[in-house]
């Protein structure tokens, strides 16, 4: 039965799921949620009144929350790229890193975005300062955690890297990853070179006002 994904190409959390789908060439229909597609917006809200995307539809099931969506794909639509290891302890490490990138990188960067969207110079400055403080702590921790690793959890590309890709991509716009963090900068470059994420970045290019 076919899959459908509601989301927006510019959304970091939509990109996280798109990467998982692209990694395994999983067939799906993308339903963009935007003012230009009111039919998708109405269907999305009917399925998930909480009003957050992305949302995966698999037959009669509506699956929300990015990490749960990727785990659902891992269980029910597996492919050659195993986004969670079979070993329970190793899988726990991947889940931790997945949450780290969502909560301590992407959410930290969002403070600056929210402040800027208010149009209030004071709130803009406060949001930027809070993002910088939180991201510096996250960058410093990641610099140590990534030593000797190609990908977030080791040698295999996993769900943690699906989370890291858009998180670090956008966080670097908010507060640049400095030369003090060479391992983290190199990791971000590897993520950008990964075909699945490169595709997601390219699909969002139309919606950006700056070049990467």
pLDDT tens digits for 65-87? 999 999 999 999 999 999 999 99
Residue 201 has pLDDT above 90, yes or no: yes
Which pTM was predicted?
A: 0.93
Q: Of 170, 44, 154, give the one whose Cα is nearest residue 113.
A: 170
Mean pLDDT over each residue of the chain, to the nearest integer:
94
Residue 36 has pLDDT above 90, yes or no: no
And the tokens for 127?
Answer: 């949001």
Q: DSSP class of residue 134?
A: H
| Least reliable range by pLDDT among 89-103, 113-127, 180-194 | 113-127
Q: pLDDT by residue (tens digit) across 8-25?
A: 999 999 999 999 999 999
Query: Can you list the alpha helix ranges (DSSP code H) found in the chain?
Result: 12-23, 38-47, 66-76, 88-100, 107-118, 121-145, 159-174, 182-193, 195-204
pLDDT of residue 209: 57
Classify the C-alpha dihedral 186-191-195-199 as positive or negative. negative
Pick from 45-54, 108-117, 202-211 the range whose average pLDDT is largest.
45-54
- Residue 157 burial by Cβ neighbours in a 10 Å radius (0-12, 13-18, 19+): buried
Q: What is the CA radius of gyration of the chain?
A: 17
| Collapsed DSSP state (helix, strand, coil) of residue 164 | helix
Which percentage of the chain shows pLDDT scores above 70? 98
Residue that the structure tokens 């949620």 belong to: 33
CA–CA separation, 164 and 105 (whole Å): 8
Q: Of 169, 177, 162, 151, give the one whose Cα is nearest residue 205.
A: 169
pLDDT of residue 211: 42
């Amino acid at each position: 039965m076919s899959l459908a994904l509601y989301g927006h190409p510019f959304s970091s959390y939509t990109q996280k799921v798109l990467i998982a789908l692209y990694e395994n060439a999983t067939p799906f229909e993308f339903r963009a949620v935007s003012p230009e597609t009111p039919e998708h917006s109405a269907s999305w809200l009917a399925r998930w009144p909480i009003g957050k995307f992305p949302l995966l539809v698999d037959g009669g099931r509506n699956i929300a929350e990015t990490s749960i969506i990727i785990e659902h794909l891992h269980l029910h639509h597996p492919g050659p790229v195993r986004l969670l290891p079979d070993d329970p302890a190793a899988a726990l490490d991947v889940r931790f890193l997945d949450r780290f990138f969502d909560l301590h990188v992407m959410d930290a960067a969002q403070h600056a975005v929210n402040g800027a969207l208010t149009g209030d110079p004071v709130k803009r400055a406060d949001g930027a300062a809070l993002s910088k403080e939180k991201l510096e702590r996250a960058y410093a921790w990641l610099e140590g955690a990534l030593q000797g690793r190609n990908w977030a959890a080791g040698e295999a590309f996993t769900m943690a890297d699906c989370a890291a890709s858009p998180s670090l991509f956008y966080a670097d716009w908010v507060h640049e990853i400095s030369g003090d963090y060479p391992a983290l900068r190199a990791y971000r470059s590897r993520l950008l070179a990964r075909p699945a994420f490169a595709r997601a970045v390219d699909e969002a290019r139309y919606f950006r006002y700056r070049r990467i």
